[in-house]
Amino acid sequence: MDTLNILLVGVGGQGTILASKLMSQVAIDADYDVKMSEIKGMSQRGGSVVTQVRIGDSISSPTIDKGEADFIAAFELLEGYRWAEYLKPNGKIFISNQVIEPMPVIMGIAQYPNEVIQTLDNLGVAVKSINALEMAMECGTPKAANVVLMGYLAKQLPIEKSIWEKALEKIIPSRFLELNKLAFEKGYQC
């Protein structure tokens, strides 16, 4: 497999790091080399959380430079926009349309940008909007929105679905497993 560079972006509390651990487990179970790095900026206060996951036959560095990401999975609308410059020219970004206002917007000193999806589309970015939050709530909890997006990502990658399902069993605590399997399937069928 050629190296796949995947950026996961969200805000604190959205399960960005759990999703990257799931992806890393999938890569290991599929016998690929994987490197992961995470950046947490005030994540306990709703700040950005970014993880970089690189998968391939032999990965030497965990970091992804601007213009090198094959996929960006954005768990929040504005975070997807902020990190879009990391996408390679033929890369794809899929964004949960969930809005979590950052502190400057809450304080009234900035405005949340309008029409983020349309702006990315106008820039020629291959973007797909996913209502991951609503799908997760249909499964029983909004916290599974990250797994909905991982289900959609799974459909994009050349790794068998059964490997993803087994990785879910390893990463997700048993009391939440069935709910998350349902969320994964909703994303996969999206």
Give the pLDDT confidence of 112-130 residue by residue, as tens digits: 998 999 999 998 999 999 9
Count of domains forming the chain: 1
**CATH for 160:** 3.40.920.10
The span from the CA of 29 to the CA of 166, in Å, is 9
The span from the CA of 52 to the CA of 88, in Å, is 14
The span from the CA of 184 to the CA of 189, in Å, is 9
The span from the CA of 113 to the CA of 104, in Å, is 12
pLDDT of residue 12: 87
Q: Which of 126, 52, 108, 116 is nearest to 78 (CA)?
A: 116
pTM of the full structure:
0.91
Higher pLDDT: 65 or 42? It is: 65
91 close to 80: Cβ distance less than 8 angstroms = no
Q: Domain of 105?
A: 4-189
pLDDT of residue 187: 97
Burial of 140 (0-12, 13-18, 19+ CB in 10 A): middle
Eight-class DSSP state of 172 = S
